[in-house]
Chain A
Amino acid sequence: MANICNLEQLSNMTGGDISTMKEFVKMYLTDTPQLILKIRNANSNQSYVGEESVAWCCHKIAPQLSYMGISSGYDLAKSVEARLKELSAGYPELNDELAQLNDICMQSYRELNDFMNSNPG
């Protein structure tokens, strides 16, 4: 399976400083699970718009996905956010899309964890 993360942008941002990149990755690994968790809760509470809602969390997670070069995840998060702003009561494909987003994040964790392990120190 091809990697979904592309750390080229992050490398640019950090001037190729691995330790800084690791900091960001570590932050990503810390933050996004919280957001995924929030998305899950919000979805189960049918909280689609407003603070701490699915759309809100997608809004939050989208840039981070982008910084990790996860374009598919970014697009998906933005798409969910945009559609929920139009369809505040949700829509049929939402669960599948969130599951997909979850899978993308899980995959990114594996890849980024490898990155962390392969760059000790």
Chain B
Amino acid sequence: MLYLLLLCSSVVWAQGTIQLKSENIFQKNGLGSVQVNAIAQDKFGFLWLGTMNGLYKYDGYTLQLFKTNHEGKPLLSSYIANLFFDSKNNLWILNDENGLNRYNILNDKLDQFVSDKKNENTIANNHVVQIVEDKNGNYWLATNDGLDKLEINTDSKGNETLLVTHFKSESENSGSLPGMRINTIFPSGNAVWCGTDAGLCEIDINTNNISRHTEIQIGEDKNSNITCIAEDKTHNVWIGTSSNGIWMLNKSLTGQPVFTQIIKATDLSNSFVSSLLFDNNFNLWIGTKGGGAIKYNLISQKAEDIADETTGGKRINALFRDVTGVIWMAHENGMNKVLDKKQFSNLEFANAPFNFKDNVYVYAVLEDMQGNVWMGTEKEGLYKYNPQTKQVIHYSVQSQPPYKLMSNDVYALAENKFMIYIGTASGLNVVNKLTGACIQLPDQLYPMNINSISMDSKGDIWMGLMDYGICKLDYLTWQCTFYQDNEKTKSALNANNDVKSILCGKDNLLYLATDSGLKVFNTVTKTFKRYRSVPDNPLTISSNRVTAMYQDSDGKLWVTTNNGGFNLFNPQSEEFTRIHCPYMNENTEVYSILPDSKNNLWLSTKIGIVKYEKFSNNFVLFDKTDGTISKEFNAGAFHKNKRGDIYYGGINGITIFNPDSISTFTGDFKMAFNKVQASNRIIPFEFNEKGEQIITLSPDDYSFSIDFTALNFIAPEKIQYAYKLEGFDKDWVSTGNRHFTIYNNLTPGVYHFKFKASMGEGDWKESPTDLLIIIKPPFYKTWWFLALISIIMITSAYTIIRLRMMRINEQKKKEVEMQSIKMKHQFLANMSHEIRTPMNSVIGFTTLLQGTPMNDEQKNYLNAIQSQAENLLVIINDILDFAKIDSGKIELHKEPVLMQKILDKVYATLYLKAQEKGLYFVIEKLSDVPNTIFTDEVRMYQILTNLLNNAIKFTEKGTVGLQIIKVEDHESNVKLEFKIFDTGIGIPQDKLPIIFDLFTQVNMDSAKKFGGTGLGLSITRQLVQLHGGTITVESEEKQGTTFHVIIPFEKVAQKVEPKKEMLPPIQPPTNGQTIVSKAIEAASIEAVEKVESKHRPHILLAEDNTFNQMLAKTVINKYLPNTDLTIANNGIEVMKHLNNGSVYDIILMDVQMPEMDGFETTRTIRKSDNAKYNVIPIIACTAGVTPPEVEECYTSGMDDFLAKPFQPNDLVNKINYHLNHIKSNQTKQ
């Protein structure tokens, strides 16, 4: 009851300029004076401030100059005149004369709107002073050039179209704006109120109809300049003007608008009203341009100027009330946060109904059991105040008995059921509660200075005395007993016994605050124990000058010292714990400690009232801005009544409060993620469909910080935080007041970050949504990269395997090729060995045979044998040479050689051949050709022989020759040309480029006709090249061919005269060919005769293939040993044999043969008139086994058919069959 009365009386007593708890957040953030023009709050609770230097965002802790991330696009101007948040989370930023910015805080998108006179659907003027949104979602723009209504339509694709309706002022048109310059607009229901420089109007937002209110006189000036409009809770519209005060519009009973001037301009500290704001306590806050701010209470209808210290500036540009009720004042020096919460009530002497002198210090205070308030002062005695009767009794030295005191310095008060005990500077006084009479007792205490009084559980009164220790007053006998600590110390003489404060504790212990430490007096043993400070030992008390004590229900003692020390003493362990209070320092005197019902401790100090919240180990400071009587309180002036109200005595009065009703934190708070920074950049937030904020971090953002905030601006420093990163933090991590955290080197993935905040009393509130943190893996950990790597690895492995396989295959192939080459060489070697050996024997024996007596015919045969054997040897040698050259094994063995020797050898080798063909063969060496050359004789001979042999081979008539010409003569070498020419068949021009290729012959006919391996020219060229020379050819068909072999030879000093300069040309022979033919013919006749004489069956085998020849021969020899066999290589030979008169019993006829095939031969035989052979059985012996081929065999005249390959018995059976058939016929004949 008393408390309520005091509260009421507080209001009655208060008057004049009010001072509220306030701070300039720009100065607090070290930004100095920055003109703030506008304030807005977003859905998260962040404040956005428009200043002359740009846009700021405020989270209760720090001001952040905001820059949009939107494609780096800047605002139209850094000067921000006004701000407005619409229902779509767009922040409209008005750039004074530069147009509009629309920034969406969710998607970080910035759009800009500027005037374009050519386009009707743009804003009328870039000087937009205000923008509001009506309930239809349309925007209204106050500009210097009329009013714009902005309708923004969005199609399904998100494209916006703008429809702008311009409202102008037309003097004769009452349905137009009263003035063109629009100062302010305010949406209210279906109307938008519009304040212009020439009056007020109301616009229907649906019809766009304008209703002027200029016919209602606002003050004396019809053209009143309307500067601001606001609406109270009852929807009355309040209008601020530039010079006519503040008006209120309400409706009359008939519904007509009625304007009432609420505050005259002259009653305002400045007539220009810039801003109006209503709070929830029926106060209208008025901002002026130049006169600061005024608080007008709608109920009491009293206006109070707000102190300049509270507003922070004289020119109030904007007033704003955030969702937690904090009033914000934007002005020329920044922006002040104003807390209009006075929780402390004061009993101020200045406003009291009795007269006090100034600067009265209250040193003792007590509310007695009857509810009277006793105030002991220094120099002014004791006051007893009855709040109910408002009666005051003053006890002092000057007062008449029974109110006379022994001293006007009252330092301690205590009571029991009947008495008030008054400790003064001159002893103890006692006031009988019943009579109110004051007496002095006992005499022993006079003139002792009683600093402190405490009553023990028995009711005895213990007093702390200055310099005299302690004294116990028996409450029945009033006998005094004194106790002094006689310990000798180095401190001041009486320090041991100067007891500043005394506290009756548990367990018969008295706690004494002295200047020589904490002393404990055992009332049973009557002994003192001392606890002194040891500076370096934190387990000792923080200082020896003890100022206040309190023992809690656990028996622990809380002790303060003069140096701002705050200690917790454990009597059992006798150890102190020093607790740091951020508000207290060496100069902070603590006068008292009192508990409240929530176990918080309240300390009266030199700097105000400090609340210690044991639960959170948090300290809260309250001072005059919170409504306390003074900043400084006094020692001993503390008291807690039976209801828990705390009294503190200060200067000129006392402060009274109930600790439980003092809120250290009021209002709810929103929770938001402020920003995430990584790599010195702010990571933009995104939002998912659940409304969760998302940040995406790149692999490079290995370290990042998360700034989270509980947005309550009343006391952000009191908010406690804890956070948790799910998937990383096992439990909540408490951070105290810190509201950010840093993470390093998180593994890629998705994390959920959440935080919670508390007002400091354990009631934690979690963030409504999580922050999703997506840490992208480095590219080498992304799925696609891993997939790619897998693919690459598989591909690589496949490729490697493939390559390996290919290599193996190539190697195998190479090995096969090598093997093949080896085989070839082996084959050739075998051939050379197998053929050359018998050939050598043949040639050798032939030579030997030639040395024996024989007739000419035998000689001719023998010569033929030798010639063919030599030809065969040449072929074999060719093949061997080819093999050697192919394997690179051929080497030249150069030595000085007589040119003539080589030429003679060549001539000797070939002249017979030439002669046989009737060719003119000439070798000519010009005179300047050196006689001796440095060369490999064998290979040189081979080159020339090959070429000349070819020439002879392909020349039927004319000349074959060799001419040697010196083409170059150098000091060390000479280059000779060997020109081999003939008049033969020539070489077609298209064959000339390939004439030197391996196995190349001009055509098949020539191959068949002239034989050869196709290796000769290739070998020759390679031999020439081995000599370092070149070989070229020129030829003309049917005219002849000339080979040019040019070879450089090293010069040799040795000179050998040639035997001949020119070899004698040979003349064409006339019988060479005839000799050979005769020999063959003779052999055939002899064979025939042999067959006839012995009546042996004689078989003619027409077969060009030696293998088949041998096969047939083997089979016949083996199975038909009494049979003769003659072999013809082709049809022509068959015919020769037949025409020569040879008689054959059977002809085995191959079909495919050169010169004349089997069909043609058969037909020739059958068509022949020669009865000797035209009926000979002909057995087709062919691999052509298709029906047409078989058919053709019979058609051509063959008698039988034997398919190759044949089995021996097949052949034998066929032969026997026909032999028997012949025999049978002969028998018949």
Contacts and interface: CB of A to CB of B under 8 A. Distances in A.
A40 B999 contact: yes
B1208 A13 contact: yes
A31 interface: yes
Contacts of B1001: 41
Interface in A21-41: 23-24, 26-31, 33, 37, 40-41
Contact of B830 (A24, A29, A74): A29
A59 B1183 contact: yes
Contacts of A23: 1110, 1114
A67 B820 contact: no
Given A52-B1008, A106-B823, A67 B1111 contact: yes
A59 B1152 contact: yes
B1108 interface: yes
A48 interface: no
A47 B1004 CA distance: 10
A27 B831 CA distance: 10
Given A13-B1207, A27-B1110, A59-B1184, 14 more contacts: A13-B1111, A15-B1118, A26-B834, A27-B1106, A41-B1000, A41-B1001, A59-B1152, A62-B1183, A62-B1204, A63-B1183, A64-B1107, A67-B1111, A106-B816, A106-B823
Nearest to B994: A44
Nearest to B1117: A20
A110 B830 CA distance: 13
B902 to A, nearest CB: 32
Contact of B1106 (A20, A31, A106): A31
Interface string B1101-1131: 0000111101100110010000000000000
A9 B1206 CA distance: 10
A29 B1152 contact: no
A28 to B, nearest CB: 6
B819 interface: yes
A20 B1114 contact: yes
Interface of B: 816, 819-820, 823, 826-827, 830-831, 834, 999-1001, 1004, 1007-1008, 1014, 1105-1108, 1110-1111, 1114-1115, 1118, 1152, 1154, 1157, 1183-1184, 1186, 1204-1205, 1207-1208
Given A13-B1208, A51-B1004, A113 B1110 contact: no
Given A41-B1001, A67-B1111, A110 B1106 contact: no
Q: How large is the interface on A (under 10, 10 to 19, 20 to 34, 35 or more residues)?
A: 35 or more
What 5 pairs across the A-B complex have the smallest Cβ distances? A63-B1204, A66-B1205, A52-B1004, A63-B1205, A27-B1107
A45 B1007 CA distance: 14
A52 B1007 contact: yes
Nearest to B1115: A13
A106 B831 CA distance: 16
Nearest to A66: B1205
B1114 A37 contact: no
Contacts of B1208: 12-13
Contacts of A113: 823, 826-827, 830
A47 B967 CA distance: 42
A33 B830 CA distance: 13
A14 interface: yes
A29 B1110 contact: no
A26 B1110 CA distance: 11
B1105 A60 contact: yes
A12 B1206 CA distance: 11
Interface in A82-116: 82, 106, 109-110, 113, 116
A31 B830 CA distance: 14
B827 A28 contact: no
15 contacts: A9-B1207, A13-B1114, A20-B1118, A23-B1110, A24-B1111, A27-B1111, A30-B1106, A41-B1001, A51-B1152, A52-B1004, A66-B1204, A67-B1111, A82-B1186, A106-B823, A113-B830
Given A12-B1208, A63-B1183, A24 B1110 contact: yes
A9 to B, nearest CB: 8
Contact of A24 (B820, B826, B1105, B1114): B1114
Most chain B beta-carbon neighbours within 10 Å: one of A9, A64, A74: A64
Contacts of A20: 1114, 1118
B786 to A, nearest CB: 43
A40 B1014 CA distance: 12
Contacts of B1111: 13, 24, 27, 67
A30 B1014 contact: no
Given A27-B1110, A67-B1205, A106 B1105 contact: no
Contacts of A116: 830
A87 to B, nearest CB: 15
Nearest to B1110: A27
A3 to B, nearest CB: 15
A10 to B, nearest CB: 9
A64 B1111 CA distance: 10
Contacts of A41: 999-1001, 1014
A47 B1003 CA distance: 11
B1183 A28 contact: no
Contacts of B1106: 27, 30-31
A14 B1114 contact: yes
B639 to A, nearest CB: 117
A45 B1208 CA distance: 37
Contacts of A56: 1152
B1107 A28 contact: yes
B620 to A, nearest CB: 98
Nearest to B1008: A52
A47 B1000 CA distance: 14
A78 B1185 CA distance: 10
Nearest to A107: B816
A5 to B, nearest CB: 14
Given A13-B1115, A14-B1114, A47-B1004, A110 B823 contact: yes
Nearest to A64: B1107
Contacts of A14: 1114, 1118
A81 B551 CA distance: 124
Given A52-B1004, A63-B1108, A12 B827 contact: no
Given A30-B1106, A52-B1154, A67-B1205, A109 B1000 contact: no
A33 B1183 contact: no
Contacts of A110: 819, 823
A59 B834 CA distance: 27
Given A15-B1118, A26-B834, A40-B999, A31 B819 contact: no
Contacts of B1205: 9, 62-64, 66-67, 74
B1078 to A, nearest CB: 30
Given A41-B999, A41-B1000, A24 B1107 contact: yes
B336 to A, nearest CB: 96
B1113 to A, nearest CB: 10
Contacts of B1000: 41
B785 to A, nearest CB: 43
A116 B834 CA distance: 12
